[in-house]
Amino acid sequence: MSKGFASNPRQILLAAIVLASFVGVGARLVWLHVLDRDSLLRYVSQARYKIDPLPGRRGDILDANGAKLATSRSLIILAVDPQSLRKEDEAKWPQLAALIGMNSSELARIFNTKTRPARVSNSTQNTERNAAAPKSASFAFNVTPGDTSSLIASSDAETENQDDDDDAPDADGNRAIRFAKLSDSITETTFTAIKQLNIKGVIGQRVYRRAYPNNSIASHIIGYVDRAERPVTGIERYADFYLHGLNGWLESEKDGKREELAQFRTRQVPAADGYSVKLSIDSVVQQIVDEELAAIAKKYAPEKATIIVSDPRTGFILALGNYPSFDLNTYNKLSKEEQGRMRNIAVSDMYEPGSVFKIVAVAGALNEGLVNAGTTFDCTSDSIEYQGKTRKLPREDHNFDHRLTVAEIVAHSSNRGAAQLAMAMGDDRFYGYARAFGFGQLTGFPNLGSESPGMLASPKKWDGLTITRMPMGHSIAATPLQMHQAMTVIASGGVMLRPSIIRQILDTSGEVVYRFDRREGDRIVSERTAQTVARMLQGVASKEGTAPEAAIKDYEVAGKTGTAQKIVNGRYSEREHVVSFVGFLPASQPRLVISVIVDGADKNCPGGVAYGSKVAAPSFKHVAEQLIRHLDIKPVAPLSPVAPGPKTPASRLAVKGSRQ
């Protein structure tokens, strides 16, 4: 036989080996794909697609000087996979317990608890699976790109131990625990020390938590985010478009040990941090306001109080505080009865402004040329003829033995004088000025839906007494911010300036990407009229006026008191009042507008009755004196008083009025 061919026995043996190999492979395939399919699929499914979210950092909220009012701290959610623990690391457990502030025995209990009873329903399984389960050295979440709901749920999960549904129950019906949370507030420094212990199975995920360094300072302005980092109120919600970061994500696969297979990473989208928002709030001014509110609360125990400070040259708010207030870091600890503290009463609550509202009638009549500072009115009569009917005039707080000039009507806060000024304009014209000064409409302040427009009925809905009562601040309801805005019209020289609070938007490097300017509206009264009213309002804070308590030596203080009776059980109460003082300084070159409104201070006032001059005006002065020093406001050379002009009585026609 030729040496080039194998013998028949060898050929038969080789064929038998090949055939046996094919039979063996076929049998193995049948075993894997048919007989043992279910058990093997459990392992195959563990090598699967995964997405790890990369959280973006929320931007800071800054005050006018760049100090942080709200910031996001980097924290670590610390957890353990009890299945991955090594016996040789047990000696390090006490060190870990000390680092995270946990009792050693409690830590050992968590580490040694390896299983838990299997879940009983698929719906529960799905809910808890989505609630979070880190897999090994990093967390893996069942999320879609850009979706942070699973990450949020994981960071806030209260469940101590969670198992992995990919592990089948054992013979006793228990599942292996693959995740047990140890803490959700580990600092970066502490986590570095934890990593140095090199305890296998201890895992961490970086998250961002919102923090408010100044606690309750400007709390109603700043607002807060909830535990899921969702904005709820204030600037946090209003400016969320700028503040919120954009989450990134990592797409890859994991192996049976739940570790990432980096070679199969298909996409990595980095997270983008949010922009920072810089406010016009000055933390020092806000501190002064908050301390004054605390002093008012201690002395008078009112139901509520508000102080607002702004710059009349721009309309920007320097401080806004309410009593009662709350700590932004512990808002979730307030009881149901205390949750009203979170309401920004400066923009949401209405009150009858009382005599401060008289600036509308005075400014309107002057601007229309119907009167001058020296025009006189008879304020002794209790009734007057108007539009062919005799109208009863409101009571006066003081008795006058002579006709009052317009300047004296302002200084002495004459109710009857204000009514006659409004009658001189007529219903429609007076109503038009009230609307122009901002009453009965939103200021546009960033408070997202909780701002009240107040109440200002049109003349068609007035009764016979409205024209005599509204000029003195009754039959109308306003928010503290609306009244502050109206006084700013006078301080600004007659122009409507919408109250603003956001100054700049900054990128992550601190560069300004957008700047907000003053929001100027229509001219309401002429500059000359505004200056005349300002000089008249100086008379209020004089020895002859209703609020000498507001006077500051060497400074021109212009302002108006308000003492409004509250409506109780459908009637005006003689014992419950909302008192206020709203003013500005220096009168001839205004730098500050300050409003002080106190509700329900009567019970702790002499005689059981609160007055704007006794409660609000002293607080105005105390705040103003501190701000003069802080802002270095220099006294200005006082202008000569408003020339009263000839003391000419108002014409009969002007007093009778007409519907115009």
* Extents of the domains making up the chain: 51-274, 283-329+342-656
Taking residues 317-343, what's their average pLDDT? 92
Position 124 pLDDT exceeds 50: no
C-alpha closest to that of 596 among 577, 615, 611, 576: 615
- How big is the CA angle at 302 (ends 299 and 304), to the nearest 5 degrees? 130
pLDDT band at 527 (very low <50, low <70, confident <90, very high): very high
C-alpha closest to that of 143 among 133, 256, 230, 120: 133
pLDDT band at 614 (very low <50, low <70, confident <90, very high): very high
pLDDT band at 15 (very low <50, low <70, confident <90, very high): confident
Domains 51-274 and 283-329+342-656 share a fold: no
CA 415 – CA 297 distance, rounded (Å) = 30
Position 236 pLDDT exceeds 70: yes
C-alpha closest to that of 307 among 298, 316, 318, 447: 318
CA 612 – CA 596 distance, rounded (Å) = 9
Give one DSSP letter per residue of 576-629, joined into a string.
EEEEEEEEEESSSS--EEEEEEEES-GGGSGGG---HHHHHHHHHHHHHHHHHH
Position 441 pLDDT exceeds 60: yes
To 10 degrees, what angle do helices 612-630 and 283-300 make? 150
Which range among 143-147, 179-183, 199-203, 519-523 shows the weakest confidence by mean pLDDT?
Answer: 143-147
- Residue at token pair 């996979």: 81
Position 586 pLDDT exceeds 70: yes
Position 205 pLDDT exceeds 90: no
Position 559, amino acid: G
Q: What is the pTM of this model?
A: 0.81
pLDDT band at 651 (very low <50, low <70, confident <90, very high): very low
Helices (H), 113-218: 122-131, 149-156, 188-197
Task: Report the pLDDT value the prediction gives residue 55, as an integer from 0 to 100.
Answer: 80
CATH number assigned to the domain covering 283-329+342-656: 3.40.710.10
- Count CB atoms within 10 A of the CB of residue 138: 17
CA 642 – CA 145 distance, rounded (Å) = 69
Position 42 pLDDT exceeds 70: no
Model confidence pLDDT, tens digit, residues 388-429:
899 999 998 878 888 999 999 999 999 999 999 999 999 999
- How big is the CA angle at 51 (ends 49 and 53), to the nearest 5 degrees? 175
Which range among 107-111, 151-155, 469-473 shows the weakest confidence by mean pLDDT?
Answer: 151-155
Please answer whether residues 531 and 348 qualify as being in contact, where contact means their C-beta atoms are separated by less than 8 angstroms. Answer: no
Model confidence pLDDT, tens digit, residues 245-267:
888 877 776 655 556 556 555 66
Task: Report the pLDDT value the prediction gives residue 155, as an integer from 0 to 100.
Answer: 36
CA 371 – CA 649 distance, rounded (Å) = 9
Task: Return the percentage of the chain with pLDDT > 70, whole number.
Answer: 81
Position 333 pLDDT exceeds 70: yes
Strand locations in 198-303 (E):
202-211, 248-254, 260-261, 267-269, 276-279
Taking residues 371-387, what's their average pLDDT? 93
CA 549 – CA 427 distance, rounded (Å) = 35
Which range among 274-278, 450-454, 491-495 shows the weakest confidence by mean pLDDT?
Answer: 450-454
Position 133 pLDDT exceeds 60: no
* Two structure tokens written together for 61: 């909220």
Task: Report the pLDDT value the prediction gives residue 482, as an integer from 0 to 100.
Answer: 97
The residues facing 72 across adjacent strands are 210
CATH 3.90.1310.10 fits 51-274, yes or no: yes
Position 618 pLDDT exceeds 70: yes
